[in-house]
Structure 1
Amino acid sequence: MHPRIEDYAIVGDEQTAALIGRDGSVDWLCLPRFDSGACFARLLGDADNGHWRIAPKGVAGPCTRRAYRPGTLVLDTEWETAEGAIRVTDLMPQRDRAPDLVRIVEGLRGEVTVRSTLRLRFDYGSIVPWVRRTDGHRVAVAGPDSVWLRSEPAVHTWGENLSTRAEFTVSPGQKVAFVLTWHPSHEPRPPQIDPHRALKAAVADWRAWTARCGYRGPHRDAVVRSLITLKALTYAPTGGIVAATTTSLPEEPGGVRNWDYRYCWLRDSTLTLGALLACGYHEEAAAWRDWLLRAVAGDPADLRIMYGLAGERRLSELELPWLSGFAGSTPVRIGNGAVNQLQLDVYGEVMDSLALARRSGLAPKPDIWALQRTLVDWLRTHWRQPDEGLWEVRGGRRQFVHSKVMVWVAADRAVRALEDHPELGGDLDGWREMREEVHREVCEKGYDAERGTFTQYYGSRELDASLLLIPRVGFLPPDDPRVTGTIDAVRAELGHRGLLRRYSSDNSTVDRLPGGEGAFLVCSFWLADALHAAGRTAEARELFERLVGLVNDVGLLSEEYDPVAGSQLGNFPQAFSHIGLVNTALALFGDEEAG
C-alpha cells in the first residue's frame, strides 16, 4: 500500500529537507538544495528510485509512535517489537555546503536487531552511483554528486541488489549513529561532524529559536510548529522561503495537477512577513524582505511571480517519465512553466510587503522607494491588461478581480507612503487618480449586483476564494454589504464539507485542466479571517478549530485536503497553509493573548 502524504515528517538544515515516512524510510531528499535533483525519490516512484530505511529487522509496517522533540525539528521514531523497543532520531545539522543527514539508533528495551537499507539514486532516481569502500566509509559517486556514509561505532555494511545494507543489534542505552554527507564529487571530503554533539546543538538551537515566539494564545503548539516549518522551508544563504519541499504531489489522486513548488512565490510575501513580524522574528522577516528586494530588482515589466532560491528567473518545466508519480499520479514535473505568466497581483503584494516592512521598523535599504515608484508607474500604464491571476490558471488571460484589487493595493500603499513621508517624492495626484479609477472599475465590472457578490473575473458568474481578501487588504470595510454578500456566496458555492475550494475546477472556463482538486487550506483560513473581521467570530473560531485538527500527527499541513477521504493533498509541507494557520490564530486570539 502506498503511503499517504500525511504519513511523512520532515527534517532539514535550512538548505534542503528530507521527508521521512512512518515506516522509517527517507523517501525524498534533494541535495544540496531544495531544488536540486533528488537522491531519494521513492516518494514519486518506487523503492528502486532511491530511499533509506532504518527499522527493526522483519518489521515492514509503520512505527509504533513518532514525534518531534518539543520546540525542535528533531524527529524521534519508535518501534515496539516482541524482542524489545528502539528509537531512531533524525536530524539535519546546519553547516555550509555540506548537508548531513544524521540518523541515530538507540536501544530502549530488550535486544532488537535493526536493518538499514540505503539505496542511492541521483538525478531524481535515474542514476545508479558507483559505490566503493574508503577508510571505513561507503562512498557513492556519479557525475557532480558524491555521498559519504559512515557509522559510529562502525557497523558492517555490504552491497546487495544495488543497495548498501547493514544489520546490528542494540540493547538498552546502546546507540549507533549514521551520518550521510553530500559534497561535490570534485572536491575533498568535508570535515566529519560528531553526530551526538550535532544532536545536542540542534535541540538547543531550535529551542532557543522557538522561545522567541511572542504568541501565547490558544493552540500555541500548532502556531510554533507552523513557524518551525516556515523556518525549515527557508533557504538560509539567501533568506528565500520555498512554497514546499516537494514537487508533483497531486492535488487529486491519479490526476495531472502536479506542480513543482520548490521555489519562492511573491504572492506569499506579505502574509509571510506579517506572520514573522507579529511573532517576533524580525531577523527572519528582514532576510525575507531583502530576498524580495534582490529578486524583483530590474525592469518592472519583467517582474516574475516566482523565483529560484537565490532569485533565479529561469525555471524551465520538464517532465520525468521514468517516475510513476505519487500513487500513480503523473506527470512528474520539475521546474514550473507558470514563471512566465503575467500576474498583476504580484505588484500589489510587493508594494504591500515593503509598506509593512517600513511600518514595522525594519532597517531601511537604499533605493527601496525608487523601486516602488518604478513599479507603480509601470502599473499606471499596464493595469488594464488581462492576466493569468493568482492561481496560475493555464486557460488564458482574464480580467481577474483579485488582480485588480491588488493593483489598487499597489496604488494605495504608494499614496499612503507619500502622504506620511512627502519627502520621498512621487506623483501623489496621479497615484490617487489611479487608485480611484481602479476601485471604481472593480466595483462596477467585478461585482454582480443581482447575486450580491464580487466575481472571479469581470462579467463572470464564477466565484473565487481570493475575493475573501478584499477586506483584509483594505479595499472595502469588512462590514460592507458587498463584502458580507461575497463571504456568504463564496462559502455557499465553493464550500466542500465545511472547507473551501479556491475556485470551481469543474467545467471551469479558466482552468481547462481535467479532473478536480481538494479543499485549499489557506482559502479556508481566509474564510475564518473574513468571518472574524465581519463580526462572526464564533463561526470563525469553529472553522479554525477544525482546520487545526487537520494537521498530521507531527503538526504538518499540505496544500489541500480531501474531506471525503480524510487525507491531505498537494505539495508538502506547504508554507501557505502554515502561514494561514499562524495569521488566523493571530487574528482570532492575538490581541487578547499575545505576549
Structure 2
Amino acid sequence: MRPATDGGTGEPFAPVAEYGFLSDAETTALLAPSGNVEWMCLPRVDSPSVFGSLLDRDAGYFRVGPAGVDVPAARRYIPGTLVLETTWWTPGGWLVVLDTLLIGPWHHETDRSHTHRRAPTDYDADHVLLRTLRCVNGQVQVRLDCLPVFDYGVVAARWEYSGPGYHEASAGGEGIDLRLTTDLNVGFEGPLATARTLLKQGDTRFVTLSWSEHAPPTTYDEAQTRLTWTVHHWQHWLDRGRFPDHPWRSYLQRSALTLKGLTYAPTGAVAAAPTTSLPEVQGGERNWDYRYTWIRDSTMALWAFYTLGFDWEANDFFYFIADVAEAAGGHLQIMYGVDGRANLDEQVLGHLCGYDGARPVRVGNAAYLQEQHDVWGGIIGSIYLYVRKRDRLDDRLWAIIVKQVEVALAHWRGPDHGMWEVRGERRHFTSSKVFCWVAAHRGAQLALIRGDTERAMEWQEAADEIHADILAHAVDERGVFVQHYGTTSLDASVLLIPLVGFLAPDDERVRATVFAIADELTEDDLVYRYRTDETDDGFSSGEGTFTMCSFWLVSAFVLIGELDRAKALCEKILSYASPLQLYAEEIDVHSGRHLGNFPQGFTHLALINAVMQVIRAERRERHEPFI
C-alpha cells in the first residue's frame, strides 16, 4: 500500500528544464534543483519507479543537500560527463554535491544477449547511485532523506539495518533490494531513511544507493576513487568522437552524451526518453510513455552516431534493430521495449496525480499496435547506412531487406496513423508515403549492391510509382506539400522530403514547402508539427512547438541555400536549451517552458543533424575542410 506521508517532498514541481539527467546506460535518474532524485526506475529505464515524485509527491524521493535551502547557487555537469555538480550557498557556508550513477570495470556475470557484438569496453554499469558532499567554506547543516516507494508509488519501503552501526540499511519491494551505504548516521521514520549532520570546512561525506550484487563504496576515499573512474569513463568515451571546432560544439557533445545515456547497453537500444507522462501542454492529457525505442528514430540515430565518430554505438543500435526486424518477419512494430520485447500494453495509473496535476499518468504505449507506414523506410534506411559503412551485404540482412520492402510495397497505397501516432482517423499521410518510397528506393540501391539487378529494377519501378502518386496527390495549388491527401493543412514532417532525398533541394516544390512552413506553421520562428485545430489527432487540447521540427527547418534551410536563415534559427533554438543543455520534446513559445518527456532523444538527434548541416555549409562557403 502507499505510505502515509506529509505530502512527499512538500515542494512545488520544478520546471521540466530544471532537471538534471544521470545514466549508467542501464538505469537513469532525474534530479530536481532541490537535490531530490524525483524519477528513477529500477533495474532499467522502463521498469516501475522507485522514486516517482516527478509524477506524484507521495511516490518517493531521495534528497541530499543543505537543510532548509532548496535553491542551489549553481549546477553544471563535470565537463564531458554525466556527473552532475551542484553548489549550494547557505548563510553559514558553501557545499558542493556530486551526483552520478557509477560506471565500473566490466562485471562478467552480467547477462548480455548481444555481448559478442557490443562495443569493446572495460566498463559497465555498477548499479550504484553515488552522492558525495564537501563543505568548501564555513559550515553547513546537511540532511539526507531517502523515501523509496516501489511499483510507481504503491509499495512503501521497510528499512532495516544491514551493517555495523547506523551506516548501512536495506529495503526491499517488488523484487528490488535497495542498500543505503553512507558515513552518516542513518535513522528510520517509517519508510523514510534520514540523517542530519553539521559539516565544517574541509569535511566530506558520501551516500550510495545500490540495487545489485555489485558492492558499493564503503568509505569516502573509495567513493572518490570510483567517482574519478566514472568521470574518466565519460571523458574517454567522448574523446572517441569527432566534434568540429565551433562555438556550438558543446551542444553536440552534450547531445552525444545524452544519447549515450539513453542507450540501454545490454542490447544497444536507444530509448526515446527516460520518462513517462510529462505533459505536452500544462495540465493536459497528451501524456505518453517514451521509455521505449522507435524504429523510425533508427536512421537518424545511426546517422548521428556515425557522423560524430561513434561507430560502435551505431552498430550496437543497428544490431538491435536488425534482431527485432528479423524476429518480426512481416509484422514489424513501430516501437519495442529496450530489451526487444514486443508487448507494450498501455495502462493508466489512476493513483498518481501526474506532473503538476497533468493526468492521466500512462505506462506502456498503445501506439505499438498502430499501423504506421514509415516503419519500413526506417528499417531499410538504417540498413542502407550500415551497409554503406561496410560495402558488404550479408545473407541475414538481405533476407530482412526483401521481407520489409515487399511488405512496404504491399501496403503503401493504404491509409495509416502517420508518424505522429494520431489516435483519430487513418489518413494517407504524405510522410508515410515518402518513407514507403524510401523503403523501395533504398531497397533498390541495396539490391544493386547485392548484385540482384532484377529486384533492383522491380523495386525502383515501384519507388517511381510511389513518387508519382505523392506528387499527384500531396501537393496543393501553391505547389506546397500538405499533411495528407485531400487537405490543404501543413505538417512539419514533410520537411524530411529533402533530407531523405525524395526531391532535390532546389526543386521549387521543396522551396515553397519550406517557406510555407516557416511562414504559416511557426510562432516566433518555432515550428508546430501541425495545427491541432486542423488535425483530428484524437484530442481537443493544443500543444507546444516541436523542437525537433524546428531543427528540421534549420536543416531544410541549409539544403535550399538559405544559410543565414538557418544560422539565425539554429542560434535561437539553442538559446532555449535547458541550463544543462538538455531538451524536452516541445517548447511553449510564450513562456519558454519545456514540455513533454525529458530529455528527448529525437530532439537531440535533430539538433546534431541541424548543427552539423550548418557547420558544414559554413565551411563549404569558406572553402575550408570540415574536420
Q: Which moved more, 1:190-199 or 1:125-134?
A: 190-199
Partner of 2:491: 464
Q: TM-score, normalised by structure 2?
A: 0.91
Q: CA shift at 1:310, angstroms?
A: 1.6
Q: TM-score, normalised by structure 1?
A: 0.95
AA paired with 1:491?
A
Is the CA contact 2:521–2:527 (under 8 Å) kept in the aligned structure 1?
Answer: yes
Q: Which moved more, 1:423-432 or 1:559-568?
A: 423-432
Once the two structures are superposed, residues 542-585 of structure 1 have per-residue CA deviations (whole angstroms, 9 ceiling, x without a partner) of: 00001111111111111000010111000000001111111111
Once the two structures are superposed, residues 175-226 of structure 1 have per-residue CA deviations (whole angstroms, 9 ceiling, x without a partner) of: 111110113xxxxx54334422221101111111111221214210111000
1:174 aligns with 2:198: no
Report matched runs for 1:398-547 at 5 Å.
398-419=427-448, 421-424=449-452, 427-448=455-476, 450-508=477-535, 510-547=536-573
Partner of 1:220: 249
The 3-state SS of whatever aligns with 1:471 is helix
Q: CA shift at 1:365, angstroms?
A: 5.5
Q: Which moved more, 1:88-97 or 1:557-566?
A: 88-97
Report matched runs for 1:167-566 at 5 Å.
167-183=196-212, 189-193=213-217, 194-218=222-246, 219-361=248-390, 366-419=395-448, 421-424=449-452, 427-448=455-476, 450-508=477-535, 510-566=536-592
Is the CA contact 1:466–1:523 (under 8 Å) kept in the aligned structure 2?
Answer: yes
The 3-state SS of whatever aligns with 1:43 is coil
Is the CA contact 2:158–2:190 (under 8 Å) kept in the aligned structure 1?
Answer: no
The 3-state SS of whatever aligns with 1:427 is helix
| Aligned with residue 149 of structure 1, among 154, 157, 180 | 180
The 3-state SS of whatever aligns with 1:216 is coil
Partner of 1:39: 50
Q: CA shift at 1:536, angstroms?
A: 0.4
Is the CA contact 2:151–2:174 (under 8 Å) kept in the aligned structure 1?
Answer: no
Is the CA contact 2:148–2:157 (under 8 Å) kept in the aligned structure 1?
Answer: yes
| Aligned with residue 18 of structure 1, among 22, 26, 29 | 29
Q: CA shift at 1:461, angstroms?
A: 1.6
Distance (Å, rounded) in 1 between the aligned partners of 2:49 and 2:565: 43
Once the two structures are superposed, residues 454-486 of structure 1 have per-residue CA deviations (whole angstroms, 9 ceiling, x without a partner) of: 111111121110100101111111111111111
Is the CA contact 1:369–1:424 (under 8 Å) kept in the aligned structure 2?
Answer: no
The 3-state SS of whatever aligns with 1:462 is coil
Distance (Å, rounded) in 2 between the aligned partners of 1:474 and 1:143: 49
Q: 1:426 to 1:339 in 2, by over 3 A?
A: farther
Is the CA contact 2:244–2:626 (under 8 Å) kept in the aligned structure 1?
Answer: yes
Distance (Å, rounded) in 1 between the aligned partners of 2:329 and 2:494: 26
Q: 1:286 to 1:328 in 2, by over 3 A?
A: same
Distance (Å, rounded) in 1 between the aligned partners of 2:81 and 2:328: 41
Partner of 1:82: 91
The 3-state SS of whatever aligns with 1:327 is helix
Q: Which moved more, 1:380-389 or 1:233-242?
A: 380-389
1:65 aligns with 2:96: no
Once the two structures are superposed, residues 380-418 of structure 1 have per-residue CA deviations (whole angstroms, 9 ceiling, x without a partner) of: 222111111100000021111100011111111111223
The 3-state SS of whatever aligns with 2:504 is coil
The 3-state SS of whatever aligns with 1:454 is coil
Is the CA contact 1:132–1:140 (under 8 Å) kept in the aligned structure 2?
Answer: yes
% identical equivalent positions: 37
Q: CA shift at 1:425, angstroms?
A: 6.1
AA paired with 1:414?
G
AA paired with 2:72?
C
Q: CA shift at 1:297, angstroms?
A: 1.3
Q: CA shift at 1:299, angstroms?
A: 4.4
Is the CA contact 1:217–1:590 (under 8 Å) kept in the aligned structure 2?
Answer: no
The 3-state SS of whatever aligns with 1:360 is helix
Q: 1:242 to 1:204 in 2, by over 3 A?
A: same
The 3-state SS of whatever aligns with 1:557 is coil
The 3-state SS of whatever aligns with 1:514 is coil
Is the CA contact 1:66–1:78 (under 8 Å) kept in the aligned structure 2?
Answer: yes
Is the CA contact 1:454–1:467 (under 8 Å) kept in the aligned structure 2?
Answer: yes
Distance (Å, rounded) in 2 between the aligned partners of 1:362 and 1:38: 44
Distance (Å, rounded) in 1 between the aligned partners of 2:591 and 2:64: 30
Q: CA shift at 1:2, angstroms?
A: 2.2
The 3-state SS of whatever aligns with 2:169 is strand
Q: 1:471 to 1:175 in 2, by over 3 A?
A: same
Is the CA contact 1:531–1:539 (under 8 Å) kept in the aligned structure 2?
Answer: yes
Q: CA shift at 1:594, angstroms?
A: 3.9
Q: 1:36 to 1:19 in 2, by over 3 A?
A: same
Q: CA shift at 1:374, angstroms?
A: 1.3
1:122 aligns with 2:122: no
Q: Which moved more, 1:583-592 or 1:399-408?
A: 583-592
Distance (Å, rounded) in 2 between the aligned partners of 1:122 and 1:549: 38
Distance (Å, rounded) in 1 between the aligned partners of 2:329 and 2:480: 33
Q: CA shift at 1:452, angstroms?
A: 2.2
Distance (Å, rounded) in 2 between the aligned partners of 1:72 and 1:65: 17
Q: 1:138 to 1:594 in 2, by over 3 A?
A: farther
Distance (Å, rounded) in 2 between the aligned partners of 1:422 and 1:16: 40
Q: 1:364 to 1:54 in 2, by over 3 A?
A: farther
Q: 1:314 to 1:362 in 2, by over 3 A?
A: farther
Partner of 1:186: none
RMSD: 1.5
The alignment covers a number of residue pairs equal to 583
Distance (Å, rounded) in 1 between the aligned partners of 2:427 and 2:364: 24
Q: CA shift at 1:368, angstroms?
A: 0.3
Q: CA shift at 1:62, angstroms?
A: 1.4
What are structure 1's unaligned runs of at least 5 residues?
184-188
Is the CA contact 1:373–1:426 (under 8 Å) kept in the aligned structure 2?
Answer: no
The 3-state SS of whatever aligns with 2:188 is strand
1:106 aligns with 2:106: no
Q: CA shift at 1:262, angstroms?
A: 0.2
What are structure 2's unaligned runs of at least 5 residues?
1-11, 111-125, 620-624
AA paired with 1:140?
A
Q: Which moved more, 1:133-142 or 1:107-116?
A: 133-142
Q: CA shift at 1:160, angstroms?
A: 2.0
1:2 aligns with 2:42: no
Partner of 2:7: none
Is the CA contact 1:341–1:388 (under 8 Å) kept in the aligned structure 2?
Answer: yes
Once the two structures are superposed, residues 79-126 of structure 1 have per-residue CA deviations (whole angstroms, 9 ceiling, x without a partner) of: 011110011100001356662110001111011110111111001111
Is the CA contact 1:250–1:570 (under 8 Å) kept in the aligned structure 2?
Answer: yes
Distance (Å, rounded) in 2 between the aligned partners of 1:106 and 1:476: 58
